Chain A
Amino acid sequence: MEITLTHYLLLAMTVFLTGMVGFVVRRNAIVMLMCVELMLSSVNIVFAAYSRFHANADGHVFVLMNFAVAAAEAAIGLAILVEIFRRRRTVNVDDLKALME
């Protein structure tokens, strides 16, 4: 079976939905963060696939940029979570309502 663009897109969709569902149903901030990373990855897949499909390198550029953004985001996000955990002893988002108003 030849692997076509459609397959890549289906994969990307699966990964994205996994991430999305995980993001809205889980309460653990670390898991939610990982779900966000999943969604970003799915977008990367789409970029790479289309890059190949159109036979130009633009998509790869964006993939690389996304990597950088994702890495930075994960680093900062985790650092914040560690700090929150140190102070609150929890990373359950339902317990973190300081942003209200």
Chain B
Amino acid sequence: MESHATESLLRWIVLVPLLAAAVGGLLNRRLPKQVAGLLACGAVGVSFALSVTVFLRLTRMPAAERFVSDTMGTWIGFGNLQIDLGFTMDPLSGVMALVVTGVGFLIHIYSLGYMAHDEGFGRFFAYMNLFIFAMMTLVLGENMLMLFVGWEGVGLCSYLLIAFWFNDEANAAAGKKAFIVNRIGDFGFLLGIFLIGTTLLPHLAEGEGLFSFRTLQHHAGIMAPVATAICLLLFLGATGKSAQIPLYIWLPDAMAGPTPVSALIHAATMVTAGVYMVARMNFLFVLSPTAMGVVAAVGVVTAIFAATIALTQNDIKKVLAYSTVSQLGYMMLACGVGAFGIAIFHVMTHAFFKALLFLGSGSVIHAMSNEKDMRVMGGLKKKLPITFWTFLIGTLALAGIFPFAGFFSKDEILWKTFSSELGGVLPWALGFLAAGLTAFYMMRLVVLTFFGENRASAEVKSHIHESPATMTMPLVILAVLSLVGGWIGWPHFMGGGAWFEQWLAPVFSSGHGAAAHGAAVHGAAAGEAVHDTMMEWILAGASLAWGLIGLGVGYFVYMKKISIATSLRNLGGGVPYKILLNKYYVDEAYEGTFIRPGYLLSKNVLWKIVDAGLIDGLLVNGSALVVAITGSVLRLFQNGMVRFYAWSFTIGVTVFVLYLSFSG
């Protein structure tokens, strides 16, 4: 093993939020709200500060050696199975750590205002801190199993926070659905881990951590024969967590949770864990073109699929939720075409602008007395100016308008899709189409919410007010980040240095088999540079124009000519609209094919017939019955007549003696 620097601050990045969660959770209502809020925000703040410290240390190291670790001893040690309890930070996890703690910190601040009047204030912040703990474990974990701990941990926090207002059974059901759908993904993830483990275990040196990412990367070649199977299994896990087809169904329902939760967990951080995991395992994925193809295909199909659903939703958070699914599709697409660095770039920019959009929608919902239906909103531009302007910035960033953050990452994804040998024109075209739809539905959202006349009741109208500073300040910061956050990835063809991609390059170019692929990703500009630059300009211009068209059409339709929307809705007898509105009936299909039949089978066949009827009734009580019948025959002999017994005994003995005498 190569030597590397140790950094004992790493563990505190993870443990400080855990401690705060424990204190906050145990004391809960005994803690005054101010103290609980301060504790929670402080903990995440400390975590962020520590992340920055360690990150800066990384930047001072030579590019190839940017790696610090902090081992807290053995976790599972049995025979030659050695799994450590430790944390590491390299350029990839460093970026993720900054995003998670940074955006997390802002959302915590925002929550101080948003949740101020909630009776579950202390509980909320305890869960949020627990989430940061789990997410940081996921990001900084030294090995796959630590990652899995965080993976399940964020799933748990997601469950707890979606079901936060458990008074309403629907919220609780949504939380449960999220957890269970994720578990289905974990099923694949676990099997992937097993396959990795059994493949590697015989080849390990003494004391080498089996699932440590370094070990995996070092021995990637050994896993080449089963790389496709491993990657597909891992990817099943990623589709659960990152809400890809076919396991995306939980994410829209997850909007039942408080809005800061939607922003933090279901937009900025947790849902990107799947992308992070795929990027983390890049050295395996590049070994299997099949798996890469599946990742790209699922990604791009999800992107367009979710974008079409978002066109018709009326719940402001549902639109954003489907938008998130769609954007996660983009990230997966980037991974699938080998542009892992760009995927993480989009993770980061998306974290900024989607967190901003969710927090903005939270501000709107807050102002509208918890109304989420856009049909009764409108005209909020004047009353919520900060919210409006920041929201608009977020919308522009999401629509991919230059020079907002989304432009850089989304454009790079589309370019890499187009230019990579793993991509092609068709996936590019689908992604391009989805980008236009994104711009359209976001404009629809903005217009319905902020423009025109307010359609709410007078009662609600009278309460509309701009949110307090604890809520608007994070909005402003995120808006700034949504604007400038993309500039660190300013591409080469526009005269930039693509610094972000360079920063991550060491992570994605080492290991076996990655060399060839590295050329495809990073050297794309090297070969046929002139021609490519030309093409890049054209595509960038096209996608910018396409985004503007989407925005323009959206504005025109919903602001000026609402009749167009109505006639679109009635297109084809209203059937396409109905299908989209009902999200392609996927939930109903799952319900009809798996859930109801599974439940009925278990209840009526397995329990009532097999268990109670066959096993217990026929076999168990049946044999008891045989014994009982035999007994009831035999009981005739026990009649209490002493002389009957005496005779029986005498006769019996006589027969026995005679038998002995004559049998010789």
Q: Which residues of A are at the interface with B, using a C-beta cutoff of 8 A?
A: 20, 23-24, 27, 29, 32, 93-94, 96-101
Do A96 and B639 have beta carbons less than 8 Å apart? no
Q: Select one of A20, A23, A32, A100 contacting B640, CB under 8 A.
A: A100
Do B639 and A97 have beta carbons less than 8 Å apart? yes
10 closest A-B pairs by CB: A100-B640, A97-B640, A93-B642, A99-B640, A24-B646, A24-B647, A24-B650, A100-B639, A23-B646, A101-B638
Which residue on A lies nearest to B639, using beta carbons?
A: A100
Q: What B residues does A96 contact at CB under 8 A?
A: 640, 642
Q: How far apart are the CA atoms of A40 and B640 in the complex, in Å?
A: 24
Q: What B residues does A100 contact at CB under 8 A?
A: 638-640
For B642-656 the 0/1 string (1 means CB < 8 A from A) is: 110011001000000
Q: What A residues does B658 contact at CB under 8 A?
A: none
Do B638 and A94 have beta carbons less than 8 Å apart? no
For B623-653 the 0/1 string (1 means CB < 8 A from A) is: 0000000000001001111110011001000
Q: How far apart are the CA atoms of A94 and B643 in the complex, in Å?
A: 7
Q: What B residues does A94 contact at CB under 8 A?
A: 641-643
The prevalent SS among residues of B at the interface is helix
Interface centre among B639, B640, B642, B650 (most CB of A within 10 A): B642
CB interface residues, B 96-119, toward A, < 8 Å: none
Q: How far apart are the CA atoms of A41 and B244 in the complex, in Å?
A: 96
Q: What B residues does A101 contact at CB under 8 A?
A: 635, 638, 640
Q: How far apart are the CA atoms of A96 and B645 in the complex, in Å?
A: 13
Q: What A residues does B635 contact at CB under 8 A?
A: 101
Q: Closest CB of chain B to A22's CB: distance in Å?
A: 10
Do A97 and B641 have beta carbons less than 8 Å apart? yes
Q: What B residues does A23 contact at CB under 8 A?
A: 646, 650
Q: How many A-B residue pairs have CB under 8 A?
A: 31
B-side interface size class: 10 to 19
Do B639 and A24 have beta carbons less than 8 Å apart? no
Do B640 and A98 have beta carbons less than 8 Å apart? yes
Q: How far apart are the CA atoms of A29 and B643 in the complex, in Å?
A: 10
Q: Closest CB of chain B to A100's CB: distance in Å?
A: 3
Q: How far apart are the CA atoms of A29 and B642 in the complex, in Å?
A: 9
Q: 4 more A-B contacts (CB under 8 A) besides A20-B650, A101-B640?
A: A32-B646, A99-B640, A100-B639, A101-B638
Give 6 pairs: A residue, B residue, CB < 8 Å, sorted on A.
Answer: A20-B650, A23-B650, A93-B641, A94-B642, A97-B639, A101-B638
Q: What A residues does B641 contact at CB under 8 A?
A: 93-94, 97
Q: How far apart are the CA atoms of A79 and B301 in the complex, in Å?
A: 97
Q: Closest CB of chain B to A60's CB: distance in Å?
A: 26
For B35-71 the 0/1 string (1 means CB < 8 A from A) is: 0000000000000000000000000000000000000
Q: How far apart are the CA atoms of A100 and B638 in the complex, in Å?
A: 6
Which residue on B lies nearest to A25, using beta carbons?
A: B643
Q: How far apart are the CA atoms of A49 and B566 in the complex, in Å?
A: 123
Q: What A residues does B638 contact at CB under 8 A?
A: 99-101
Q: What A residues does B643 contact at CB under 8 A?
A: 24, 27, 93-94
Q: Closest CB of chain B to A34's CB: distance in Å?
A: 14
Q: How far apart are the CA atoms of A99 and B635 in the complex, in Å?
A: 12
Q: What A residues does B640 contact at CB under 8 A?
A: 96-101
Q: Closest CB of chain B to A81's CB: distance in Å?
A: 12
Q: Closest CB of chain B to A44's CB: distance in Å?
A: 19
Q: How far apart are the CA atoms of A100 and B646 in the complex, in Å?
A: 15
Interface centre among B638, B640, B650 (most CB of A within 10 A): B640
Which residue on B lies nearest to A20, using beta carbons?
A: B650
Q: What A residues does B639 contact at CB under 8 A?
A: 97, 100
Q: Closest CB of chain A to B382's CB: distance in Å?
A: 94
Which residue on A lies nearest to B646, using beta carbons?
A: A24
Q: What A residues does B647 contact at CB under 8 A?
A: 24
Q: How far apart are the CA atoms of A100 and B641 in the complex, in Å?
A: 8
Q: What A residues does B646 contact at CB under 8 A?
A: 23-24, 32
Which residue on B lies nearest to A93, using beta carbons?
A: B642
Q: What B residues does A27 contact at CB under 8 A?
A: 643
Which residue on A lies nearest to B651, using beta carbons?
A: A24
Q: What B residues does A24 contact at CB under 8 A?
A: 643, 646-647, 650
Q: Closest CB of chain A to B646's CB: distance in Å?
A: 5
Q: How far apart are the CA atoms of A27 and B647 in the complex, in Å?
A: 12
Q: Closest CB of chain A to B237's CB: distance in Å?
A: 65
Q: How far apart are the CA atoms of A101 and B637 in the complex, in Å?
A: 9
For B577-608 the 0/1 string (1 means CB < 8 A from A) is: 00000000000000000000000000000000
For B516-536 the 0/1 string (1 means CB < 8 A from A) is: 000000000000000000000
Q: How far apart are the CA atoms of A99 and B639 in the complex, in Å?
A: 8
Q: What B residues does A97 contact at CB under 8 A?
A: 639-641
Interface centre among A32, A98, A99 (most CB of B within 10 A): A99
